[in-house]
Amino acid sequence: MKLYHSPASPFVRKVCVLLHELQKTDAVALEPVATTAFDSSEVLIASNPLGKIPALERSDGPTLYDSRVICAYLDDRFAGALYPSGARRWEALTLEATGDGIMECAVSMTYETRLRPPEQQSSQWIEAQWAKIARAVSVLNGRWISHLSGALDMGHISVACALAYVDFRHPQRDWRKDNAGLAEWFAGFESRPSMQATRPPVA
């Protein structure tokens, strides 16, 4: 299998962290690809018409895309346990969606400042995206700490990759303020070997 990959993408990082946690990094080759919202890679488009990463190319079926689809597929294929059963499954899926939503907002902020010229940037749009992130972080700190403190699942990975991306691209935004419980949890989770092995480049 081949994963179309950019080390700065939090969605790609989700998949890579999962592979590390399942000890299956040797089962998927990483295929670097340069793509942006304004300039999609032709190679990537051939596998994913949306031109987005990650995309997982398989020899036994069509290419899979969207990090949630890929993570669920790999967890199933390698008999993982990152999508629990019973009531906890729905909590894990909701947490994963929350983490992914934070990523989407943070990536949108990044695109606004890195891809658009200053005169076309919208501070109102940027602040609207940040407001969504701030609300989500507050709810994670208040409602979800008990789940995050439990057995590892895909919700943990998504939330951790989301918070790490906010630190990476928007370090001036202090998401830790008034969210001490979540900050403490993240500090511990960030030290996991899977997170350390998938740290994005500095640039």
How far, CA to CA in Å, does 2 sit from each of 47, 55, 107, 120? 11, 8, 24, 37
Q: Which domain holds residue 179?
A: 87-197
55 plus 99 within the same structural domain: no
| Number of structural domains in the chain | 2
Residues 111 and 192 placed together within one structural domain of the fold:
yes
Q: Can you give the pLDDT at residue 180? A: 97
203 is a domain residue:
no
Q: Are residues 62 and 109 in the same domain?
A: no
Which CATH number is 36's domain given?
A: 3.40.30.10
pLDDT of 116 reads 87
Residues 189 and 93 in one domain: yes
Are 29 and 92 part of one and the same domain?
A: no
Q: Are residues 98 and 193 in the same domain?
A: yes
Residue 70 lies in a domain: yes
Residue 201 token pair: 């480049």
Do 104 and 171 lie in one domain? The reply is yes
82 domain residue, yes or no: no
Q: Is residue 127 part of a domain?
A: yes
Same domain for 124 and 61, yes or no, is: no
User: Along the 203 residues of the chain, how does pLDDT read in single tens digits?
Assistant: 999 998 899 999 999 999 999 999 999 999 988 776 666 777 777 777 877 889 999 989 999 999 999 999 999 999 999 999 998 999 999 999 999 999 999 999 999 998 888 999 999 999 999 999 999 999 999 999 999 999 999 999 999 999 999 999 999 999 999 999 999 999 999 999 999 999 998 75
> Has residue 202 been placed in a domain?
no
| Residue 155 placed within a domain | yes
Closest CA to 41 of 69, 13, 1, 5: 5
95, 73: one domain = no
Whether 91 and 72 map to the same domain: the answer is: no
pLDDT at 203: 58
